[in-house]
Chains A and B, each alone.
Chain A
Amino acid sequence: MSTYLIRRLIYLAFQALAVATVVFLLLRLVPGDPVRATLGQTATPEQVAEVRGQLGLDQPLIQQYGEWMGNLVRGDLGTAITSARPVSLDVGLRIGNTLELIVLSTVVALAVGIPLGVIAALRSNKVTDYALGSLAMLGLSLPSFVVGTVLLLIFALWLGWLPESRYVPWGESPLGHLRTVVLPVLTLAAPFAAVVMRMTRSSMLEVVRKDYVRTARAKGLGSWAITMRHALRNALAPVLSISGLEVVSLFGNTVLVEIIFSWPGLSSLLFDGVTQRDYPVVQGVVLVIAALVMLVNLIVDVAYGVLDPRIRNS
């Protein structure tokens, strides 16, 4: 296990280096001058030159790259052009809000998706299975910005059950906070739960044909014990790996969901950076999100190795 972990960590280091390099190059090799774009056409050449100097953009590319990497190692993501605040400060203030949405949506998606997948598998090719399958297909096909907007319209604007879009911090009112969390989490969890359900179903159907399940049945175990202890446990490995992919796409979907629900997270910081063409903000947030994604992948791979000895020995 430890060699597997070490090999995985070395890979992670290379990946992190590559990702940091791509993010660095992305905003420097594109045509156009980001500083000119940020300051607008009215800025004098002197003002542009001054900001370029502050950002170190007047230095050779290789020297900029060295500084970028050196700063990253110290946790410095640069300074925003528009607000003149350190990017890492704003990232630090908002990262928790984004992670809250991601963790809650993951929990909800697994808690809904796995049991429904088991039910669909046990009732395979019956009405329940078809109904659940259609529901899952719907969940997969509706984009999160459509689901979020429609939920907002129905539950906040028309029925008035839930607040429209004013974010309430936990410290201010825990109940009020929970009420603001419901709609974004439902929106994010819907496609995730659909994927988990489909994977649990097909994986269960695959597993129940295996010898060890037949053996368990031959031993005279009840069908509940077989389903839970022998089939489900083995069926969960593919569910785990697809969940890893889904958590990664949650980071993408939160961008849209945070904007729809005015949620003060990383993604709305990214969006503001894009609309104001504040490229230190954009590259800082993209890098942090990419780092979180790499971390998720690492956790999934390690969990996979723990579940399945064949992986870590390969």
Chain B
Amino acid sequence: MTHSLEARTKEETVESRASLRGRIVRNRILRSPRVMIPAVFLVLVTLVSVAAPLIAPQSPTELAAQPLLPPSTAHLLGTDDFGRDVLSRLVYAGRISIGVAGVSVFAATVVGVSLGLLAGYYRGWVETLIMRAMDLVLSFPTIVLAIAIVAALGASVRNVIIVIAIIYTPQFARVVHGATLSVRDADYVEAARSIGAGDLRILRTAVLPNVLAPILVQVSLSLGIAILVETGLSFLGLGAQPPTPSWGNMVSDARPFMEFYPWLLIAPAATIGLTILALNTLGDGLRDALDPRMGGAGS
């Protein structure tokens, strides 16, 4: 009885110390321009994509004007070879590119985190089985594996989501596996176990909160790579099918005309570059803010 009381107090002190650290980290994140500037940019891009029907001046597929018009007040980014408004297409394309990245990375996070927790917590044959399977997926280059799977399943937005989720699951499993190994024998996990908490409860309350930081960084970096893969597959014609716009197929559609109509290329290329740049900068900034070894009053 006294033992469990002791354990409980121990758990509570650990918790309050953790919440103090949480507050310090939160302040550090909010004051970091490397986190906040890209975060604001990404929120804007996402809002614009979600609200595409309200924001886009024209329909993305309607043949509204003369083809290949230069940028003007009527068409801020000009028109493409079919006379479609480039700005409208760009705004709608964000729904595909950001939507695919969001859904697939979410799926990869859920599956990968679960597998990583299981492998790191239970060790033994569970760990061997899961981590070897993850290594197998990682032994193919991303794009090549993506092409092979899309070739097998057929080119569509849904299949691109499945492919990216499969490819990024191992990344999350690895990160969480490593982080779980480093906390599974910690005092507070031992304490939780000694007061009779079940495995699921321990994983949820003691292990998961302590591996959240690396997961958050990995989510940010994976979103960047997911957009890279989605746009790459669309560029190859293996993603969103015409006339549906995606940032990747807008770049490939622009190629035959880019010598004399470069705005067709510049608009989607700059959007892709800035979005991935924002996600990578955010990931770097978060890693520095969450790492207690990096400067500041942390730890």
Binding site for B on A (CB under 8 A): 15, 18-19, 22-23, 26-27, 30, 32, 137-138, 140-146, 149-150, 153, 157-158, 248-253, 255-256, 259, 267, 270-271, 273-275, 277, 279, 282-283, 286, 289-290, 293-294, 297
Residues in B with CB closer than 8 Å to A248 are 141
Residues in B with CB closer than 8 Å to A150 are 265, 269
Determine if B231 and A286 form an interchain contact, defined as CB atoms under 8 angstroms apart.
Answer: no
Contact of B255 among A149, A275, A283 (CB under 8 A): A149
With A137-B277, A153-B258, A259-B236 known to touch, is A274 a contact of B228 (CB < 8 Å)? Answer: no
B276 at the interface (CB under 8 A from A): yes
- Shortest C-beta distance, A155 to chain B (Å), equals 12
Determine if A143 and B259 form an interchain contact, defined as CB atoms under 8 angstroms apart.
Answer: no
Determine if B143 and A255 form an interchain contact, defined as CB atoms under 8 angstroms apart.
Answer: yes
Residue of B nearest to A157 (CB): B259
- Shortest C-beta distance, B192 to chain A (Å), equals 32
Residues in B with CB closer than 8 Å to A30 are 152-153
Contact of A289 among B144, B150, B277 (CB under 8 A): B144
Residues in B with CB closer than 8 Å to A141 are 224, 273, 276-277, 279-280
B96 at the interface (CB under 8 A from A): no
* Cα A271 to Cα B280 with chains together (Å): 29
With A32-B154, A157-B259 known to touch, is A293 a contact of B235 (CB < 8 Å)? Answer: no
B149 at the interface (CB under 8 A from A): yes
Determine if B277 and A18 form an interchain contact, defined as CB atoms under 8 angstroms apart.
Answer: no
Residue of B nearest to A259 (CB): B236
In this complex, the member of A141, A255, A277, A286 whose beta carbon has the largest number of chain B beta carbons within 10 angstroms is A141
Determine if A149 and B140 form an interchain contact, defined as CB atoms under 8 angstroms apart.
Answer: no
With A26-B148, A297-B139 known to touch, is A145 a contact of B259 (CB < 8 Å)? Answer: no
B147 at the interface (CB under 8 A from A): yes
Determine if B238 and A293 form an interchain contact, defined as CB atoms under 8 angstroms apart.
Answer: no
Determine if A18 and B136 form an interchain contact, defined as CB atoms under 8 angstroms apart.
Answer: yes
Total cross-chain contacts (CB, 8 A): 119
- Shortest C-beta distance, A22 to chain B (Å), equals 7
Determine if A252 and B277 form an interchain contact, defined as CB atoms under 8 angstroms apart.
Answer: no
Query: What band does the interface of chain B fall in when counting residues whose beta carbon is under 8 Å from A?
Result: 35 or more
| Residues of chain B in range 263-284 having any CB-CB distance to chain A below 8 Å | 265, 269, 272-273, 276-277, 279-281, 284
The 7 tightest CB contacts between A and B, nearest first, are A252-B143, A252-B141, A141-B277, A251-B141, A30-B152, A274-B151, A157-B259
* Cα A23 to Cα B149 with chains together (Å): 10
B71 at the interface (CB under 8 A from A): no
Contact of B149 among A26, A255, A290 (CB under 8 A): A26
Residue of A nearest to B140 (CB): A290
Residues in B with CB closer than 8 Å to A27 are 151-152
Residues in A with CB closer than 8 Å to B228 are 143
Residues in B with CB closer than 8 Å to A23 are 148
B83 at the interface (CB under 8 A from A): no
Determine if B276 and A251 form an interchain contact, defined as CB atoms under 8 angstroms apart.
Answer: no
Offer 12 A-B interface pairs, CB within 8 angstroms, sorted by A: A137-B281, A141-B273, A146-B269, A149-B265, A256-B235, A270-B144, A271-B236, A273-B151, A279-B152, A286-B145, A286-B148, A289-B140
* Cα A157 to Cα B265 with chains together (Å): 13
Residues in B with CB closer than 8 Å to A273 are 151
| Residues of chain B in range 154-204 having any CB-CB distance to chain A below 8 Å | 154
Determine if A251 and B280 form an interchain contact, defined as CB atoms under 8 angstroms apart.
Answer: no
Residue of A nearest to B153 (CB): A30
B262 at the interface (CB under 8 A from A): yes
With A149-B265, A270-B144 known to touch, is A19 a contact of B136 (CB < 8 Å)? Answer: yes
- Shortest C-beta distance, B140 to chain A (Å), equals 5
Determine if A142 and B276 form an interchain contact, defined as CB atoms under 8 angstroms apart.
Answer: yes
Residues in A with CB closer than 8 Å to B273 are 138, 141-143, 146
Residue of A nearest to B279 (CB): A141
Residues in B with CB closer than 8 Å to A149 are 251, 255, 258, 265, 269
- Shortest C-beta distance, A157 to chain B (Å), equals 4
Residues in A with CB closer than 8 Å to B151 are 27, 273-274, 277, 279, 282
Residues in B with CB closer than 8 Å to A140 are 280
Determine if A290 and B147 form an interchain contact, defined as CB atoms under 8 angstroms apart.
Answer: no
Determine if B143 and A256 form an interchain contact, defined as CB atoms under 8 angstroms apart.
Answer: yes
Residue of B nearest to A133 (CB): B284
Determine if B141 and A15 form an interchain contact, defined as CB atoms under 8 angstroms apart.
Answer: no
- Shortest C-beta distance, A100 to chain B (Å), equals 17
Determine if B259 and A294 form an interchain contact, defined as CB atoms under 8 angstroms apart.
Answer: no
* Cα A111 to Cα B135 with chains together (Å): 30
Determine if A282 and B143 form an interchain contact, defined as CB atoms under 8 angstroms apart.
Answer: no
Q: Mark B112-152, 1 if CB is under 8 A from A, else 0.
A: 00000000000000000000000110011111110111111
